[in-house]
Amino acid sequence: MNQPGICDYTNYNYNDEFWKKTNREYEHLLEVSMVNTLLSKHADKKNTIMDAGCGFGRLYPSYNGIFTNYILVDYAQSLLDEAKQALGQSQNISFIQQSLYDLEMEKKVDAIISIRTLHHLHDVEPLFKRLYNSLSDSGILILDIPNYYHIKNRIKSPFIKRIPKVKQSENFFNYDPDYIIRHLKKCGFSVIDQRCLGLFRSQVIKKLISPKLLVGIETYLNRWIKWLTITPSVVIVVKKCG
């Protein structure tokens, strides 16, 4: 395997190293809760959902029970195996090892979520075309945009000229959300909702306040600030428009 240009998680213990060893309960709960709310609110049909770049299936609780069938796609077979072990064998869950650049679905799905994956994908237009072709008419895509121009960076460099894509390291990118939205529109999507995610990504705040309370506050604040692209993660909901 090992295709060039792909961030291969095969030999990385993502769950332990990234989630368990560090204090990220707030981020996890927030993402599960936001995705769950957005899917319940915006998905017209609730038959099949795809988790694109699913990792070890961390976000399964955000769609379990809302849809009937679940398709988990990832490039790393080791993470899919971990997901299989955690979620168990069921007729309603399929695991597909595939790069999202090569994504091909036998049947269209009603919703796709892709969380924390876009920062490993540098070629957005072919990706968005694949996602568009995988969705049924009026299907929705919930996409997490790694936002370079969040409030801390804007304060640090207020007059910086914005560029569409910032390469942080090999196979790791942050984006200008406007650039991503422009490309989504070009590929036939229209934006129907948005959220700011990660207002409290600070070790000090996370040590002082419980994750559940932080999630409650952030969910509440999103009523007013959801269209501001001030957080390190901007989650948008787009719909196929024809």
Ligand X SMILES: C[S@@+](CC[C@H](N)C(=O)[O-])C[C@H]1O[C@@H](n2cnc3c(N)ncnc32)[C@H](O)[C@@H]1O
Taking the complex as a whole, the smallest distance from the CB of residue 141 to ligand X amounts, in Å, to: 14
Q: Which of 93, 152, 146, 148 is nearest to 124 (CA)?
A: 146
Instruction: Indicate the angle between helix axes 124-134 and 177-186, nearest 10 degrees.
Output: 50
39: three-class secondary structure by DSSP = helix
Taking the complex as a whole, the smallest distance from the CB of residue 58 to ligand X amounts, in Å, to: 4
Candidates 35, 49, 100, 142: give the one binding ligand X (CB under 6 A).
Answer: 100
4: three-class secondary structure by DSSP = coil
Candidates 50, 76, 112, 214: give the one binding ligand X (CB under 6 A).
Answer: 76
Taking the complex as a whole, the smallest distance from the CB of residue 86 to ligand X amounts, in Å, to: 12
Is residue 146 at the binding interface for ligand X, with CB under 6 A as the rule?
Answer: no
Got the DSSP string for 136-204? EEEEEEEEEEEBTT-HHHHHHSTTPPP-SEEEEETTEEEE-HHHHHHHHHHTTEEEEEEEEE-TT--HH
Is residue 129 at the binding interface for ligand X, with CB under 6 A as the rule?
Answer: no
Per CB under 6 A, contacts with ligand X among 35-74 are 53-55, 58-59, 74
Q: How many residues belong to the site for ligand X (CB under 6 A)?
A: 20
Candidates 48, 62, 99, 229: give the one binding ligand X (CB under 6 A).
Answer: 99
Q: Are strands 69-74 and 48-52 parallel, antiparallel or unpaired?
A: parallel
- Positions touching ligand X (CB under 6 A) are 6-7, 9, 53-55, 58-59, 74-76, 79, 99-101, 115-117, 120-121
